Amino acid sequence: MPNLDIAVIGSGIGGSLISSLNTHKDLILFEKESNLGGCASTFKRKKNFYNAGATTFVGYENNHPLKNIFDKINFIPDIKKSEIAIRVIQNKKIINRVKDFETFLKNINEVYPHKNNRIFWTNLKIIDEKFWHLKKLYYAKYSILSYLRTLNSILELCSFFKFDIFKSANSFINDFINDISQEYKDFIDSQLLITIQSSSKDISLLSLALGLSYPFHDVFYVNNGMGSIFDDLLQNVNVHKKEEILQIRKEESFYRIISSKNEYLSKRVILNSSIYDTSKLFDDKKIKNYYNSFSFSDQSAFVINLTLDSKEIFLNHYQIILDDNIPNTISKSFFISFSSKEDKRLSKNGYSITISTHTKAVFWNNMSKNEYEQNKQVTQDFIINSFLKNFESVKKEDIIDIFSATSKTFKRFINRYNCGGKAITLKNILQTPSCTTPFKGLYNVGDTIFAGQGWPGIAIGVNVLNREING
Ligand SMILES: Cc1cc2nc3c(=O)[nH]c(=O)nc-3n(C[C@H](O)[C@H](O)[C@H](O)COP(=O)(O)OP(=O)(O)OC[C@H]3O[C@@H](n4cnc5c(N)ncnc54)[C@H](O)[C@@H]3O)c2cc1C
């Protein structure tokens, strides 16, 4: 029976990054699917390739935890900068989210004039910049050293900021731009929903700053699909694809891991499955109770993939903001990503497009098959009609293939109903799970634990985990 130092379960961003940092150990990365990357994977359907969820790549710049990890392992991703990170279209008005602050400010002042726009956006940008220069960012529990490092991190955070960064985002908005229109407010909330999975009413000033400043960083397009990063990143890692872990038993000095193909013993286990879908793997009551103690984050994604035959040139990323909620969702907006025309893999038969918005995860569960299909069609048709209204050069007949995914689809393929991560809010900050657990040798990584979702957030969590497992 194979005897391991570390078994990593899941090849999402978290599982892949931590594996790539520990190739010197006796480590196996298990992935139930044939595609690597989970929510950030790329898959093939019929003759075309599509991104399953994530399409924007951020954090590849100096001082950022993600770039530091890539530098440590000498990995250079195959990426291309999107000069206009996101084009936001709201009632025919256009706001280009670009990195250059003055260009953005001019644009926002034209669309949503306000005397305090400069000070409002400058303060957010300053907080964001300072945050990414923090040196001691840490959050872990269950050992004295972990608590000390966390305390050190909080002290650094408090001494570094002149603003009260844990005050509510809404009070900051009210201090500077309290009389803004509903449209401007929707613009802010829609941007927050895609970057930090929450709206301004539940979050701190720090989250507001990080969420709205996302496009002040370099935003990249990943050539050949987001999933191709994982194929390149994991070249030196022992990856077992199409091998699902079914059960993990805690024994005296190791964990017994039972997969769909074999049985393994490992001193340490790193779970990249979402925190809500993990208890079923264990029979140990204490471990089960631990994972069941986290209240489910009922948020997920509705994703449409399509291939579009068009000669037009498009940007990589758009966000369309509507006046009302999209049927069966919790959002007024949807995000559209186009493959680059010159991308030989994704654009081989036309543009590969991923459209996504936010829904409740459990909404799609308790329906008959018919109801489920009908509801899916309603949401898909509504989004596609809005898409066509906003892109007048695109005709319905140019869409070659189209299909959509709900939380049920995500569960089937990558084992999670909740998607896009859990926002760290004012209410849940102290309950946020850490990479360490109360059980020796058992760890978590990914977007349902600190520091949250996406490449930049998960990279912070990976750095903390790497320090915990390597002393
Ligand atoms: C629609 C959508 C759009 C998004 N857009 C962006 C974006 O543009 N940019 C960005 O940075 N982030 C984006 N995100 C967020 C980002 O994709 C996620 O936060 C991130 O990919 C989650 O990574 P993770 O490490 O938590 O692993 P996950 O993606 O959850 O992957 C976990 C992996 O574990 C595997 N697994 C689970 N259980 C088992 C088991 N028992 N045995 C073996 N394998 C198992 C799964 O198959 C999966 O591959 C988006 C998310 C969604 C849903």
Which domains are present in the chain? 3-42+63-73+223-296+422-470 (3.50.50.60), 100-219 (no CATH)
Model confidence at 425: pLDDT above 80: no
Pocket perturbation via mutation, ligand 1, pick of 13, 16, 39, 337 by most ligand atoms within 8 A of CB = 39
Pocket perturbation via mutation, ligand 1, pick of 28, 303, 453 by most ligand atoms within 8 A of CB = 453
DSSP-derived letter for residue 279 is G
- Residues 448/18, Cβ–Cβ less than 8 Å: no
- Cα 190 to Cα 200: distance, rounded to the nearest angstrom: 10
Cα(15) to ligand 1 centroid in Å equals 10
Task: Please provide the DSSP assignment of 142-199 as one string.
Answer: SSHHHHHHHHHHHHHHHHH-SS-TTSBHHHHHHHHHTT--HHHHHHHHHHHHHHHSS-
Model confidence at 421: pLDDT above 80: no
Which atom of ligand 1 lies nearest, measured to the CA of 259? 42
| Residue 185: pLDDT band with limits 50, 70, 90 | very high
Whether the CB of 30 sits within 6 Å of ligand 1: yes
What is the mean predicted confidence (pLDDT) over 295-324?
96
What is the mean predicted confidence (pLDDT) over 321-340?
98
- Residues 22/14, Cβ–Cβ less than 8 Å: no
Whether the CB of 329 sits within 6 Å of ligand 1: no
Model confidence at 386: pLDDT above 90: yes
Whether the CB of 55 sits within 6 Å of ligand 1: yes
Cα(462) to ligand 1 centroid in Å equals 14
What is the mean predicted confidence (pLDDT) over 130-156?
93
Sequence-ordered alpha helix ranges (H) in 344-394: 369-390
Nearest CA owner, ligand 1 atom 26: 446
Provide the mean pLDDT of the chain. Answer: 95
What residues have CB less than 8 Å from 55, skipping those under 6 apart? 221, 222, 226, 316, 317, 335, 337, 354
| Residue 430: pLDDT band with limits 50, 70, 90 | confident
Whether the CB of 10 sits within 6 Å of ligand 1: yes
- Residues 216/125, Cβ–Cβ less than 8 Å: yes
Pocket perturbation via mutation, ligand 1, pick of 272, 337, 357 by most ligand atoms within 8 A of CB = 272
- Cα 48 to Cα 113: distance, rounded to the nearest angstrom: 43
Identify the pLDDT of residue 163: 67
Nearest CA owner, ligand 1 atom 27: 12
- Cα 440 to Cα 273: distance, rounded to the nearest angstrom: 18
Identify the pLDDT of residue 229: 98
